[in-house]
Structure 1
Amino acid sequence: MAVLLQRPVDNPERLAAVRATGLLDAEEAPGLRRLTRLAARLLGVPTALVSLVLDDRQVFASQLGLPQRWAELGQTPMTHSFCQHVVDGDQPLVVTDARTNPLVRDNRAIDEIGVIAYAGMPIRVDGRVLGAFCAIDSAPRSWSEQELAILEDLAAAVASEIQLVRAAQHAEATSALVRRILEVSQDAYVSIDADGRVLEWNPAAEQLFGWSRDEAVGVDLSRLVVPEQHRDAHRRGLERVRNSGTSRLAGTRLELPAVDRRGRDFPVELTLQATDTAGGRPVFHAFLHDISARRAAEEQLRRQAELIDAAPAAIIVRDPDGTIRFWNRGAERMYGWPAGAVTGRNIHRLLSTAFPKPLPEVERALQETGSWEGELVHRRSDGQVVVALSRHVSRPSADGTGYEIIETNTDITDRRRAELAREQSERRFRVQFHQSTIGQVIVGLDGDILHVNDAYARMVGRSAAELRGYGVVLLTHPEDRAGDTEALAGLFAGEGDAYERTKRLVHADGHVVDVQTGVRLIRDADGHPQHLIGVVQDITEQVRARRERDAAVTVLAERNAQLHRANQLKLDLMGMLSHDIGTPLTAILGFGEMLCEAELPEPLGTLTARIVAAGHRIDELRHNVLAMCQLDAGELTTVRQPVALAAALRDAADAADTTVPISCPPGVTVLANPAHLRQIVVNFLTNARKYGGGATAVTVAVEGREVEIGVHDEGPGVPEQLRAHLFERYTRAADAAAEGHGLGLHIVVSLARANGGRVAYRPAEPTGSVFALRLEIG
């Protein structure tokens, strides 16, 4: 079987990256506009495009030279796209004459746009090909390597411009305290020849360096932008490239010092590409932008970090949404996470922060007062819990677009752990002692009660206050006191730490309470007895239940014997129905049907037909009784087989002595036991005759892998209050005039389930009922 491979152009991750550029519906980016015009100028072509390729169309992020219709649309369908082949092939596409090229000769762009010669370079961003930067000619053309190299360099510049556009979209979300990312609108583009003389100088270069294009073109670049102390190194580098023919810096991103017309020194970030002219001499293309602000921000961050790292507490700078922007060494020590691993992550999720109050209240306090202080619970990298005394201060962010939060956290885990341990111990004791459902009592060595919980007090019918100072022996049944004394003597003698025994207490109203007691002797550090703790559980109901259980065993045994006899009677009945009645009934039906076919004179023919109909009714009742017996015994099973549905429905209609239109598509088969299928449909038809004035139609509908058989009538329908219980045993309408016991539909449900199907009822419109059986298609 052939496997359809996904085309790279349809890759969901690639498509998401294309949409993430933000260029599909945006105005033409100035940087891209200059690059397309530069490509047209350098390559001498009428048309240049920055094409972002989707799965159904290509969108021109920048364009030059398209016919007016396509220029206004700013996009074409895939039927007009050469650039899709650049994406699919993940490599450049060079076409000398599209009319003879097997790959594109059927492309509609040839006739409608005039694409004859084509050269397209992949636009790669983050390792994905988003589209193509292409040059188009309206006549056949052989593309030189130099032209292709220029186009490739410009494609790299396009990718850089796309990255800058995308970076600008996310610039607001970054923090000035961790890093400063310049808001870059355009890059300066400078092109020089092998001697270092300027060939191209775009408007951004004019703005960055202060020299106009007319002033710069033809001038040695080192005199315009290279600080004097670096000019010799610049010239030596050019000489090395001229001699070797290669540039070690081509294709890399560099940070270099620069100088503008006013003599201001500043750092720039530069991307360099080198191409060869027709004469073999290299041409260099550079894209530059000022990184002074970023350098200053980095230096500021470095100074701040040095000061903050000296603090012993954890100092964290984060965005209002919890994104960590700064993490000092104190935070590294306190939480075990290095700064490089946490920067950019959410502090609350990282540390599983638990606030003493809802987070919205903390945020509201920061907004209203500018600060918040309280205890937080954090989790370290090793899973240990840290309790921190935390102070949050809100201040405007460095870029002025929002605000940031400075957290100062001091570890108070040991102090809080000791306090919590004491509180938890006291709370556990109070909860366990006073709220326990089992009676508990603390007794002094003199036998008087010191403390008692409510469960014990209720057990003996007194209040807890009344029992304090009361002699515990007075609550014990007189016949059980000697046993308590003997057991206590063993505790004091060191024969054990505790004992358990069953005894009786005396309730305040005089009745006896059976209890299970556990008593433990508490000693001090020196081993001297201090007091007794007793745990007392009321087992009165358990004792009573044991007595009642023993009494019920005899009754249960007798009832089991009765059930056994009844079950044997049921088995005998099933045997009688199956053989003793089934055999003669089969003969009656067989001979009766033969007589019906013999065309007897009236009234013998009518009487014979009534005999056959009555026989079928008896046979239906016999099958229902057998099914009910099997249901009660849990023995209703079946073997399904393919059944031709149309013939089976006609057979069921004959068995029900019913003439009804049957609508069944030819050739439909279902998986079922034929006898069960017939019994279900006969039941539906019989019920329609009893309660609905007779069936008006039998329909068959195929839905996927299922077949629905519907029996329709136009009677009064099933009362709404009865529908929820319609298929339950013994369900009948209170005013039903027809005979029946309410078992037929219950049997039908079980037969349907045994055959892997299900039944349902729905009211017909405007009146009547539809009883439906769904079975698996055969």
Structure 2
Amino acid sequence: MDDRGDATGHEDTDIEPGKNWQMAVLATILAAAIFALDTFSPVDMAIAVLYVVVVLLAANYVERRGLLAISGLCVGLTLASFFIIHGDSFDLGSVMRCAVSIAAITVTTLLSLRNQDATDSLKEQAALLDLTHDAIFVRDTEDVIRYWSQGAQELYGWTRAEAVGRNAADLLKTAFPHALATIRRELLQTGRWEGELTHTRKDGSRVTVMSRWSLQRDERGRPAATMETNSDLTERRRAEDALHQTRTQLTHVTRITTLGELTASIAHEINQPLAAVVTNGAACLRWLDRPEPDIGEAKASVERMISNGRRASDVVARLRALARRSEPQHTPLDVNEVVEEMLQLLERELAQHRIALELAFDRHVPAVAGDRVQLQQVLINLSLNAMQAMDAVPPRGRRLGIVTRAEQDEEGRAVVIEVRDRGPGIAPENLPKLFNAFYSTKQDGMGMGLSISRSIIEAHGGRIAAAPNETGGMTFAVRLPVPEDEPT
């Protein structure tokens, strides 16, 4: 692999014309010296074998035709020297020495031509690699760079001459997503590894890349080198971050809009426990003002005051969490508790729309990983839509059904939350557009609630779907995956 890296990785593959001329002169002088030594030296040995040095020297600096010409010249000089010395009498020893020399020159020439073909092929392959915009480089088993593509030079800033021979991790200051030992173990086991890395360019800037490693083994199956192909993800990552920021802002706006629609419910939720506190406080004073204070009744009144005060505090806390602009926090959640807390926020709306609740909770559903506030936002939006859809239905028929259940299918374990209404439903031709941004079936609707709800659920690894009921109305089903480490 070192030979391959040297053949394709170094800048010296393009020899300067001046150096070519110098090497031609050196080869000529060496050939002349060997001819003189072979012709005029009294030493009785195959001195002409030294012409292989001339052939090997020329192989690095001349093309195929030039090498054949030089090889033919060396054979010609060998024969010329033989006839000058042994022209009158041929003995077997001299003939054998001449034949061995010519054979050595011929074999060396053939091997050099074969090596040139292999080198040219590698150069062509390297030239093809340089056509790609991806950064490609080859590292040996010591993590030393042996090949550095044009794409790598453009991405990182180091030239081929500057990069080849350097330790890759040290040069690029690589930040790995996992322990390097773990990555290398996977590479040795499978021959491949893929993941995101962070590198440092020559100018000091950071770049995020999708890196793909391929392991090359020698003829004995031992690791020989690793080819690393890196695609720049920096701009895409910035775009994703910008999109995430925009989505977060839009979600926050929708959340505030939802709070505006719940103003009456908020006042009701806060006033009710506060009024109960005042009532119980007055009752406590009356029990204490008696000629014989009734401590038991007074204590019960104080306990009810504390309970209602906590309820008011909980309402405020939930509303502040709903209004707070913060990053999602995925924690283990009991979906039944999430639904129950959501319903407490909707008590006023349920009473105003004269909606009857039909709850069917599976009390043994496993926990899911999610953000409590975001999931409550989705359920509030689905419930409000369901209540508003039933405004045209006679009061006796206004029923809001909420079902929770565990589910197991080919995708794995999940928890399903269904929100059902008995409204007029949605026309079949409008169902595919239901979750599109800015599409609404309500005259004054913004068309963002369901779109954002879908984004939130998909960010949790789940999905949301809508389907008409057989008896009228719609069912919106939210499917949330159960973490693999959650016990069955």
The normalised TM-score by structure 1 is 0.23
**Which structure features the higher share of strand residues?**
1
Structure number with bigger Rg: 1
- The higher relative CO (CA closer than 8 Å, separation ≥ 6) is in 2
